[in-house]
């Protein structure tokens, strides 16, 4: 069953757009579902030091994170009746009056040992019960409170940490704000020559960092499970080869440079294997292989004269999903990671490619077409229903946030490639705007902090 | 053993390798562009540094000199170096078979000539699938050339998928120009 998601543009949260001139902006377009969001007020944090306030506005970053997730209804600061910066200053009646259920307050001061000290508290303004319907009993309950020493360079990280804490406390799910994305940009120079660049940034596009620049195409970046390495495809030598680069170094390691195609790397969940597309055994015919990263040993998975490519691992590492046109056009298939019989998964539409699993393994996002443009679709692997989440016409390369809440993808917009995000329920969209170049092939990295943060 | 260095080696090699060293020699005149030794050809070859020396010293026992056809003769099918494909298809269309045939003939007549067949696709769909599709287009063209008489060691394929469009639009008029195989002679 195909369920087209209705995409009315209910409103644009332009008030939350960043006004800074940072290199990238994640614009927020809430399309639906925000009415059911958790009402939250984030009071602008107070700077108590002498001299200029820090360059980053932490409470603004937190507000943007939360609203972008689509799970919260952010109250407008101009409606606030007071601006407390510590729990002791909060008059809960003034928040109850404007419908706030959760309140974030905080302040920033110079840290005696250098840098800054950020303090924040999250309160639930709740009613534990009422003696009569006319007299509900409200009070404050602190859900989280942190002292966070930080530096000017790490203020954004601190803000994203705060967002993660709030998100987890209020939704019960882990936040994915302290994460990075990788993507490829192509910029046409004045001489008409294309320059390709492999970039890494925070999930919101800030702190962009170029990992690799080349006059030759770069493709298919993918993160190692520990977030320390990227695998990618480069045409540096005039033909495709798969490289792995440790992000703490500048020297890529060549992993696959066989005759023919070397492409579509995908790390196994344990980080020990790379699934690949190679045509080394049969010219012109791509097949799926699995390479042991440590030894380079190869195991061939598919044997079919059709195109087989774009392998993706299930989160338990037991299954590979891949694209094949063995039925005539591209569709997704599933095969045991040790090899075996392939089972076709997609039947709706004439084009389903580049499958990728949600972190819980229950959903498969893909590039889908039923003949009128290419969109991001999500297949529920249990009931096999397909939902189309985006409008097209040239959407591709979906990648899940590590908490499974959002999908980042590449889209054509006004003759340029851009990145956009959509919530898995289709209700929230954001657009990542970079100032120049065509942006494509996003890969959302894993959680950066290894363990769940709990108070 | 077929030493094949004419007295005019210096001029010839610098000017137009094919004209001097087509192998076997008796077939050389059949290749439409080989008898052209115009001044612009000399200019063109002269732009490739080091080529004169390397190619002039075609040693006894070699197969002859490397050759590639000239670009300037619009009447020759050899001057056409691109063939086009239908969407999501890799079969060589009938209308392009004469072009493939001409290049296969040239390769058969010039065993040291080498081509790279670059497969490309339009921008639609996923990128790695398009790399695989571009590879199939290159391979389909290669197999046809082999069938038509080219040598197995003369043809390489490489696929760029959708990464190297020649037309930058986002409609069929651009897409149809990008679904292609480029026949590129090694120089």
Q: Per residue of chain B (187 residues), what is the pLDDT tens digit?
A: 444 444 433 333 333 333 333 333 333 334 344 334 444 444 444 444 433 333 444 445 445 566 677 656 677 788 899 999 999 999 999 999 999 999 999 999 999 999 999 999 999 999 999 999 999 999 999 999 999 999 999 999 999 999 999 998 889 999 999 999 999 998 8
| CB contacts < 8 A (A, B) | 100
Q: How far is B137 from chain A (nearest CA, A)?
A: 8
Fold of A29-171: Rossmann fold (3.40.50)
On chain B, the residues whose CB falls within 8 A of the CB of A233 are: 128
Reply yes or no on domain B80-185 having CATH 3.30.1330.60: yes
Is A263 close to B128, i.e. CB distance below 8 A?
Answer: yes
Categorize the per-residue pLDDT at A450 as very low, low, confident or very high, splitting at 50, 70 and 90.
low
Which residue from B125, B136, B143 is facing A351, i.e. has the nearest CB?
Answer: B125
Q: Are A143 and A120 in contact (CB under 8 A)?
A: no
Is B88 close to A329, i.e. CB distance below 8 A?
Answer: yes
Q: What is the pLDDT of residues A29-40, one digit of tens each?
A: 555 555 678 999
CA distance A223 to A359: 14
How far is CA A160 from each of CA A202, A321, A407, B64, rounded to the nearest angstrom? 10, 33, 18, 67
CA distance A398 to A378: 10
CA distance A278 to A288: 7
Q: Are A298 and A289 in contact (CB under 8 A)?
A: yes
Is it the case that residue A84 has pLDDT exceeding 50? yes
How far is CA A287 from each of CA A275, A430, B160, rounded to the nearest angstrom? 10, 35, 17
Q: Are B33 and B78 in contact (CB under 8 A)?
A: yes
Length of chain A: 455
| Burial grade of A421 (CB within 10 A; 0-12, 13-18, 19 or more) | buried
Q: How far is B83 from chain A (nearest CA, A)?
A: 17
Is A367 close to B164, i.e. CB distance below 8 A?
Answer: no
Residues of B with CB under 8 A from a CB of A: 88, 123-129, 131-133, 135-136, 138-140, 142-143, 157-161, 163-164, 170
In the numeric block, the tokens 């229950």 are attached to A362
CA distance A197 to A234: 10
CA distance A384 to A66: 31
Q: What is the pLDDT of residues A348-404, one digit of tens each?
A: 999 999 999 999 999 999 999 998 899 999 999 999 999 999 998 999 999 999 999
The highest-level CATH class for domain A180-444 is mainly beta
Question: What SS3 class is residue B56?
Answer: helix
Closest alpha carbon to A120 in A77, A165, A55, A66: A165
Tokens standing for A19? 């006004």
What are the residue boundaries of the structural domains of chain A, listed by start? 29-171, 180-444
Length of chain B: 187
Each as own residue / partner, the long-range contacts of residues A44-49 (CB below 8 Å, 24 or more positions apart, any chain) are: A44/A77, A44/A83, A45/A85, A45/A105, A45/A106, A45/A107, A45/A108, A45/A118, A45/A120, A46/A83, A46/A85, A46/A106, A46/A107, A46/A108, A47/A107, A47/A108, A47/A109, A48/A107, A48/A108, A48/A109, A49/A108, A49/A109, A49/A110, A49/A116
Q: Are B130 and B90 in contact (CB under 8 A)?
A: no
Q: What is the pLDDT of residues A337-351, one digit of tens each?
A: 999 999 999 999 999
At residue B44, the pLDDT reads 45
Tokens standing for A46? 């107070």
Q: What is the pLDDT of residues A309-331, one digit of tens each?
A: 999 999 999 999 999 999 999 99
Tokens standing for B177? 């120009």
Tokens standing for B70? 């000239």
Quick one: closest CA in A to B158, which residue? Answer: A239
Q: Are B131 and A263 in contact (CB under 8 A)?
A: yes
What are the residue boundaries of the structural domains of chain B, listed by start? 9-56, 80-185
Is it the case that residue A2 has pLDDT exceeding 70? no
Backbone angles phi, psi at A302, to 5 degrees: -110, 150
Closest alpha carbon to A367 in A343, A383, A389: A389
């Amino acid at each position: 069953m195909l369920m087209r998601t209705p995409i009315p543009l209910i409103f644009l949260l332009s008030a939350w757009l960043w006004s800074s001139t940072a290199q990238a902006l994640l614009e927020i377009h809430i399309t639906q579902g925000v009415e059911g969001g958790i009402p939250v007020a984030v009071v602008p944090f107070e700077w108590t030091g002498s001299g200029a306030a820090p360059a980053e506005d932490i409470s603004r970053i937190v507000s943007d994170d939360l609203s972008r997730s689509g799970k919260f209804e952010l109250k407008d600061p101009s409606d606030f009746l007071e601006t407390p910066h510590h729990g002791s200053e909060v008059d809960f009646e003034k928040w109850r009056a404007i419908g706030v259920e959760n309140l974030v307050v905080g302040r920033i001061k110079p840290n005696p040992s250098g840098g800054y000290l950020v303090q924040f508290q999250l309160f639930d303004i709740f009613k534990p019960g009422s003696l009569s319907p006319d007299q509900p009993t409200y009070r404050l309950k602190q859900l989280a409170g942190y002292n966070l020493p930080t530096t000017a360079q790490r203020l954004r990280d601190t803000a994203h940490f705060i967002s993660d804490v709030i998100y987890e406390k209020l939704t019960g799910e882990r936040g994915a704000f302290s994460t990075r994305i990788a993507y490829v940009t192509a910029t046409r120079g004045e001489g008409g020559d294309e320059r390709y660049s492999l970039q890494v940034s925070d999930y919101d596009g800030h702190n962009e960092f170029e990992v690799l620049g080349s006059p030759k195409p770069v493709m298919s970046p993918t993160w190692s499970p520990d977030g320390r390495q990227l695998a990618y495809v480069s045409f540096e030598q005039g033909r495709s080869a798969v490289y792995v680069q440790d992000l703490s170094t500048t020297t890529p390691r060549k992993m696959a440079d066989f005759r023919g195609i070397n492409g579509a790397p995908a790390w196994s969940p344990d980080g020990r294997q790379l699934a690949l597309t190679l045509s080394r055994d049969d010219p012109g015919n791509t097949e799926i292989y699995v390479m042991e990263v440590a030894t380079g040993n190869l195991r061939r998975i598919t044997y079919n004269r059709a195109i087989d490519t774009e392998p993706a691992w299930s989160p338990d590492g037991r299954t590979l999903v891949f694209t094949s046109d063995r039925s005539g056009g591209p569709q997704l298939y599933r095969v045991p990671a040790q090899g075996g019989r392939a089972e076709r998964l997609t039947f709706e539409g004439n084009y389903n490619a580049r499958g990728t699993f949600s972190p819980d393994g229950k959903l498969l996002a893909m590039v889908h077409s039923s003949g009128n443009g290419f969109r991001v679709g999500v297949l529920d692997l249990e009931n096999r229903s397909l939902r189309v989440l985006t409008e097209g016409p040239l959407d591709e390369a979906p990648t899940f946030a590590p908490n499974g809440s959002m999908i980042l993808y590449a889209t054509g917009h006004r003759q340029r490639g851009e990145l956009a995000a959509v919530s898995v329920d289709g209700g929230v969209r954001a657009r990542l705007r970079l100032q120049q170049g065509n942006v494509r092939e996003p890969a959302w990295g894993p959680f950066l902090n290894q363990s769940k943060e709990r108070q | 053993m077929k030493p094949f260095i004419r007295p005019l080696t210096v001029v010839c090699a610098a000017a137009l390798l094919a004209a001097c060293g087509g192998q076997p020699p008796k077939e050389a005149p059949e290749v439409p562009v080989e008898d052209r030794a115009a001044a612009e050809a000399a200019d063109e070859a002269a732009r490739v540094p080091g080529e004169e020396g390397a190619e002039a010293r075609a040693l006894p026992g070699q197969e002859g000199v490397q050759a590639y056809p000239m670009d300037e003769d619009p009447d020759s099918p050899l001057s056409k170096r691109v063939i086009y494909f239908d969407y999501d298809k890799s079969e060589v269309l009938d209308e392009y078979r004469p072009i493939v045939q001409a290049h296969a003939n040239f390769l058969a007549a010039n065993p040291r000539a080498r081509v790279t067949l670059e497969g490309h696709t339009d921008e639609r769909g996923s990128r790695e699938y398009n790399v695989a599709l571009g590879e199939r287009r290159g391979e389909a063209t290669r197999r046809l050339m082999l069938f038509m008489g080219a040598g197995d060691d003369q043809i390489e394929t490489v696929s760029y998928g959708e990464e190297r469009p020649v037309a930058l639009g986002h409609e069929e008029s651009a897409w149809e120009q990008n679904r292609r195989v480029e026949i590129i002679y090694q120089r």
